[in-house]
Amino acid sequence: MLVFETPKAFKKDFKYSFCKGCDHGVAIRLIAELIDELGLKEKTILTTSIGCSVTMYDFLDLDCIEAPHGRAMAVATGVKRARPDKFVFTYQGDGDFASIGLAESLHASLRGESLSAVCINNTTYGMTGGQLGPTTLMGQVTTTSPKGRNREYYGYPIRIAEQVALCDGTAFSARVALDTIPNIRKAKAAIKKAFEVQLKGLGVGFVEILSTCPTNWNMSPEKAHERVRNEMMKVFPLGVYKDITEE
């Protein structure tokens, strides 16, 4: 009996361009599995961002639109308002969603657009070479914070899932991780919920995924997952921060 196969939402002969051990691959697979399970392939319009996440349209056999840096939620708003019958979601990194595009992301959440958003939080700008991002942890050394992040010069990291949950238009907001098999399964359940609230027209469904960047962290894939558990989860606790379907 076949219990696992490559999701049908992927293009034939696609090839991931991510570094070895990068959790982007797992996150995109979970999304592809859900698009198959919910039968959304023909009605989805994917809005991609800038960063490593931009390459997603190379792998998935979906209609896609590319947004300027940080503006994925604004572009997705236009797409959804023009075509409310379509399923529209964004796939962004933490720098795109919470730094350059913070205004667009939070205002889309405040407007309560029927959108889903998946944000990969790896505490750095991965594609451009590991610079300090909005979620970089205190004390973390990056190429633009060579002595580590401090309050005086750089300020504090942002907790995205909590901020999105504060918006009245948000229907679902959760933070998940991909460090262990149980957490990968929980992540899939959370993304499914974020997709379902859009299908029900309840508002923004948001999932923040704690992810790894072994290349820019200078760690092996296994050690990078340990860092997610031991350092990131202390600052960014996992959990569901808002779920109006439960209230």
DSSP conformation class of 145: B
By CB under 8 A, tell whether 29 contacts another protein.
yes
Structure tokens given for 19: 């570094």
Q: How far apart are CA 129 and CA 213, in angstroms?
A: 11
Nearest C-alpha neighbor of 124 from the set 47, 51, 230, 208: 51
Minimum distance, C-beta of residue 120 to another protein, in the bound complex (Å): 12
Q: Is 62 or 184 the residue whose CB approaches another protein more closely?
A: 184
Q: Specify the 3-state DSSP secondary structure of 173.
A: strand
> What residues numbered 129-188 form the site for another protein, per CB under 8 A?
181, 184-185
Question: Is residue 81 packed enough to be buried (19+ CB in 10 Å), middle (13-18) or exposed (0-12)?
Answer: exposed
> What residues numbered 208-247 form the site for another protein, per CB under 8 A?
214, 221-222, 225
Q: Near another protein by CB under 8 A, which window of 4-12, 66-74, 115-123, 125-133?
A: 4-12
By CB under 8 A, tell whether 1 contacts another protein.
yes
- Give start and end residues of each alpha helix (H) in 168-232: 181-199, 214-217, 221-227
User: What mask of x and - would describe binding to another protein in positions 58 to 77, judged by CB under 8 A?
Assistant: --------------------
Q: Tokens 């698009």 sit at which residue?
A: 35
By CB under 8 A, tell whether 2 contacts another protein.
yes
By CB under 8 A, tell whether 3 contacts another protein.
yes
Structure tokens given for 199: 């299908």
Q: Is 146 or 182 the residue whose CB approaches another protein more closely?
A: 182
User: What mask of x and - would describe binding to another protein in positions 8 to 27, judged by CB under 8 A?
Assistant: --x----xx-xxxxxxxxx-
Backbone angles phi, psi at 237, to 5 degrees: -65, 140
Per CB under 8 A, residues contacting another protein are 1-6, 10, 15-16, 18-26, 29, 181, 184-185, 214, 221-222, 225
